[in-house]
């Protein structure tokens, strides 16, 4: 025995066979066991098939089937657990054989698999899928009559052997065969799929976009009962967190689907004009989106008050939904009756968590017949998770990625080609800069250099700055609003900050300003490190010297690696440091 073990160890490697007090143990991991490798490859093949890559799927599944050498666990057939495992593997094998034929047919390879399809149907005549695949291969090869005969044979076999009629798939195939349905020969992939981009970019979702609105089910589910109970729903949150989309595509759309009349107004620059759109006699749910516009409108205080009073009065007769930016709530609360009304139904809308972000990425793709390459969702979610202004940037980057779709697949490479969220931010910032009149550009530089400064090692450090300290005059105020509208900056709780870390890192112009900013250190001292209760994502941006040290260690030359791969220890360290 020890001699055998020695020889085996020489062949397999010394650590593969462990010596234990009771004997020897073979220690193999994952892919070294054929059965596990087989299962992994089959799973991957199926994934590729779902992803619309039948050729790759057929290849991978063929590789899996090649691993078979006779029956599984043949030496242990007297042992019940082994028999069970063996039949499980055998079932997987039969299924894999069928999936490979299916994949080949989808890839247009009916000639190559016709003979095999014939053999497989004969081998296991009670497996209906085999008859279907054979019939399909015959049909695709231009042999409609033979295909029909195959289906009749299947019917006879099932009736004789089991006394059963064929299942719905075989029946549907027979009918499609008879009417010469073009779908039988057409590519499984519709050329139409992928022709429409399902992502909206920077635009909010409206009622008409409700079908493609994902990731906010829980919020809608919480808001509607609140509205029903109190008659008022005030969706409050920072700019870009998705308030308009929620009240329009989520709440208003659901109410309309339920037969309610819903009127949506936004105050715009002339709230008094918008008053005309208010429903006359309380027969509709009133939704006031962008309610914060009232305070920055061109109407005087009296006009603003009249608008708010009208909305408040309407809430006495019918349900009212308002969406309002958190940082403008205090301005609005000057109007006491309106404040009391809002108070009845405040709903604080936070950023989406990872699962909902995934839904917001996958849902629209699925609906539009698009496929997402494995890994893409993770990359996207990782690039935006925890960022306060993530949603619009994500939407924007997805639109860009869609422009590079391969067939109907959105790929990781396509996303990377766009430069990802970082490039999206940089482009939109440069666009804003170019649109600004020359004389206002220094203002932009001034504002941004107060939101971000070069740290001692040249790395940009973001901060949260009291809005009051930035908006000394109307020009500054307007500029901040422009930045907010472009989703580059968010304004919340009277505090302003960059919407995404990428702006400080990926926009060359800002990098240049930072390099030139000889007073960077001075500015740095003004950056607020005040804690901000209840927001994990914001906490992370309060970079204390401790976090600065830890980020510096992790960052690559461009800061790309600033985030721990899976929200692990470094990320927690950052949040923890921020809290301190």
Ligand X SMILES: Nc1ncnc2c1ncn2[C@@H]1O[C@H](COP(=O)(O)OP(=O)(O)O)[C@@H](O)[C@H]1O
* Residue 392: contacted member of ligand X, Mg ion, none (CB under 5 to 8 Å, by partner type): ligand X
Closest approach, Cβ 252 to Mg ion, in A, equals 13
Sequence-distant (6+) residues with CB within 8 A of 9 are 16, 17
User: Is the CB of 311 or the CB of 527 nearer to ligand X?
Assistant: 311
* Residue 370: contacted member of Mg ion, ligand X, none (CB under 5 to 8 Å, by partner type): none
Closest approach, Cβ 333 to ligand X, in A, equals 19
| Strands annotated E in 381-494 | 409-410, 452-454, 460-462, 465-466, 489-492
Distance CA 172, CA 471 (A): 68
Distance CA 120, CA 450 (A): 71
Closest approach, Cβ 64 to Mg ion, in A, equals 50
* Residue 414: contacted member of Mg ion, ligand X, none (CB under 5 to 8 Å, by partner type): none
Distance CA 519, CA 457 (A): 14
Cα-based distances in Å from 244 to 184, 186, 276, 304 = 44, 42, 21, 21
Residue from 357, 392, 401, 412 nearest 500 by CA: 392
Closest approach, Cβ 491 to Mg ion, in A, equals 12
* Residue 360: contacted member of Mg ion, ligand X, none (CB under 5 to 8 Å, by partner type): ligand X
* Residue 384: contacted member of ligand X, Mg ion, none (CB under 5 to 8 Å, by partner type): none
User: Is the CB of 214 or the CB of 338 nearer to ligand X?
Assistant: 214
* Residue 213: contacted member of ligand X, Mg ion, none (CB under 5 to 8 Å, by partner type): ligand X
Burial category of 437 from C-beta neighbours within 10 Å (exposed 0-12, middle 13-18, buried 19 and up)? exposed
* Residue 499: contacted member of Mg ion, ligand X, none (CB under 5 to 8 Å, by partner type): none
Contact residues for Mg ion (CB under 5 A)?
Answer: 244
Residues in the chain: 580
* Three-state secondary structure call for residue 578: helix
Distance CA 403, CA 104 (A): 29
Cα-based distances in Å from 359 to 30, 238, 381, 405 = 31, 21, 10, 19
User: Is the CB of 131 or the CB of 205 nearer to ligand X?
Assistant: 205
- Give yes or no for a contact between 378 and 412, defined as CB atoms under 8 angstroms apart: no
* Residue 202: contacted member of Mg ion, ligand X, none (CB under 5 to 8 Å, by partner type): ligand X
* Tokens at 302, concatenated: 């009296």
User: Is the CB of 174 or the CB of 292 nearer to Mg ion?
Assistant: 292
Closest approach, Cβ 116 to ligand X, in A, equals 45
User: Is the CB of 151 or the CB of 424 nearer to ligand X?
Assistant: 424
User: Is the CB of 107 or the CB of 246 nearer to ligand X?
Assistant: 246
* Residue 215: contacted member of Mg ion, ligand X, none (CB under 5 to 8 Å, by partner type): ligand X
Sequence-distant (6+) residues with CB within 8 A of 154 are 121, 125, 128, 131, 132, 135, 166, 170
Closest approach, Cβ 353 to ligand X, in A, equals 12
The CA angle 248-250-251, to the nearest 5 degrees, is 75
Contact residues for ligand X (CB under 6 A)?
Answer: 200, 202-205, 213-216, 237, 239-245, 360, 391-392, 395
Sequence-distant (6+) residues with CB within 8 A of 518 are none
- Give yes or no for a contact between 54 and 107, defined as CB atoms under 8 angstroms apart: yes
Closest approach, Cβ 204 to Mg ion, in A, equals 6
Residue nearest to Mg ion (CB): 244
- Give yes or no for a contact between 222 and 334, defined as CB atoms under 8 angstroms apart: no
* Residues β-bridged to residue 490: 497
User: Is the CB of 286 or the CB of 376 nearer to Mg ion?
Assistant: 286
Closest approach, Cβ 292 to Mg ion, in A, equals 9
**173-185: b (≥16 Cβ within 10 Å) or e:** bbeebeeeeeebe
* Residues β-bridged to residue 263: 286
User: Is the CB of 33 or the CB of 348 nearer to ligand X?
Assistant: 348
User: Is the CB of 150 or the CB of 244 nearer to Mg ion?
Assistant: 244
User: Is the CB of 72 or the CB of 352 nearer to ligand X?
Assistant: 352
* Residue 303: contacted member of Mg ion, ligand X, none (CB under 5 to 8 Å, by partner type): none
User: Is the CB of 204 or the CB of 578 nearer to ligand X?
Assistant: 204
User: Is the CB of 140 or the CB of 244 nearer to ligand X?
Assistant: 244
* Three-state secondary structure call for residue 29: coil
Closest approach, Cβ 240 to ligand X, in A, equals 5
Closest approach, Cβ 199 to ligand X, in A, equals 7
Closest approach, Cβ 322 to ligand X, in A, equals 12
User: Is the CB of 216 or the CB of 542 nearer to ligand X?
Assistant: 216
Closest approach, Cβ 509 to ligand X, in A, equals 23
Distance CA 150, CA 156 (A): 10
DSSP one-letter string for 112-173: HHHHHHHHHHHHSTT-HHHHHHHHHHHHHTT-HHHHHHHHHHHHHHHHHHH--PPPHHHHHH
DSSP one-letter string for 219-260: HHHHHHHHHHHHSEEEEEE-TTSSHHHIIIIIIIHHHHHTT-
Closest approach, Cβ 296 to Mg ion, in A, equals 13
* Residue 240: contacted member of Mg ion, ligand X, none (CB under 5 to 8 Å, by partner type): ligand X
Distance CA 147, CA 142 (A): 9
């Amino acid at each position: 025995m020890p001699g055998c073990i020695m020889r085996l160890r020489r062949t397999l490697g010394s650590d593969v066979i462990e010596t234990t007090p009771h004997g020897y143990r073979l220690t193999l991991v994952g892919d070294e066991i054929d059965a596990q490798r087989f299962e992994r490859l089959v799973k991957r093949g199926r994934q590729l098939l779902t992803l619309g890559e039948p050729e790759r799927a057929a290849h991978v599944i063929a590789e899996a089937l090649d691993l078979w050498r006779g029956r599984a666990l043949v030496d242990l057939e007297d042992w019940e657990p082994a028999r069970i495992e063996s039949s499980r593997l055998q079932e997987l094998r039969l299924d894999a054989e069928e999936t490979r034929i299916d994949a080949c047919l989808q890839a247009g390879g009916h000639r190559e698999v016709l003979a095999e399809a014939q053999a497989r149907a004969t081998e296991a005549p009670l497996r209906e899928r085999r008859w279907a695949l054979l019939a399909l291969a015959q049909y695709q090869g231009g042999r409609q009559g033979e295909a029909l005969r195959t289906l009749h044979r299947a019917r006879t076999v099932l009736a004789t052997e089991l006394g059963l009629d064929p299942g719905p798939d075989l029946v549907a195939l027979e009918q499609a065969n008879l009417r010469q349905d073009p779908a039988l020969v057409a590519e499984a992939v519709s050329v139409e799929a992928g022709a429409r981009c399902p992502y909206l970019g920077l635009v909010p979702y409206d009622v008409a976009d409700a079908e493609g609105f994902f990731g906010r089910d829980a919020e809608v589910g919480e808001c509607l009962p609140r509205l029903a109970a109190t008659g008022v729903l005030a969706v409050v949150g920072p700019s870009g967190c998705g308030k308009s989309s929620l009240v329009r595509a989520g709440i208003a759309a659901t109410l309309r689907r339920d037969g309610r009349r819903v009127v949506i107004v936004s105050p715009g620059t002339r709230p008094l004009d918008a008053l005309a759109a208010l429903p006359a006699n309380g027969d509709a749910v009133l939704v006031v989106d962008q309610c914060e516009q009232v305070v920055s409108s061109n109407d005087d205080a009296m006009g603003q008050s009249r608008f708010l009073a009208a909305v408040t009065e309407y809430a006495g007769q019918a349900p009212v939904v308002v969406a309002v930016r958190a940082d403008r709530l205090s301005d609005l609360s000057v109007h006491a009756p309106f404040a009391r009304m809002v108070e009845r139904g405040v709903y604080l809308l936070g950023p989406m968590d990872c699962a909902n972000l995934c839904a917001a990425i996958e849902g629209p793709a699925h609906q539009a017949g698009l496929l997402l390459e494995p890994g893409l969702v993770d990359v996207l979610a990782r690039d935006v998770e925890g960022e306060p202004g993530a949603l619009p940037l994500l939407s924007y980057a997805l639109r860009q990625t869609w422009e590079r779709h391969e067939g109907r697949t959105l790929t990781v490479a396509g996303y990377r080609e766009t430069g990802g969220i970082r490039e999206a931010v940089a482009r939109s910032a440069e666009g804003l800069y170019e649109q600004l009149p020359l004389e206002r550009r220094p203002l932009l530089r001034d504002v941004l250099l107060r939101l971000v400064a070069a740290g001692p090692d040249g790395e940009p450090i973001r901060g949260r700055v009291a809005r009051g300290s930035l908006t000394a005059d109307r020009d500054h105020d307007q500029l901040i609003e422009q930045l907010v509208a472009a989703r580059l900056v968010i304004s919340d709780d009277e505090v302003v900050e960059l919407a995404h870390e990428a702006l400080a890192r990926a926009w060359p112009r800002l990098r240049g300003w930072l390099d030139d900013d000889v007073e960077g250190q001075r500015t740095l001292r003004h950056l607020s490190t005040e804690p901000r209760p209840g927001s994990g994502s914001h906490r992370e941006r309060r970079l204390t010297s401790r976090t600065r040290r830890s980020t510096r260690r992790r960052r690559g030359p461009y800061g790309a690696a600033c985030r721990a791969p899976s929200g692990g220890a470094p990320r927690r360290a950052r949040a923890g440091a921020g809290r301190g």
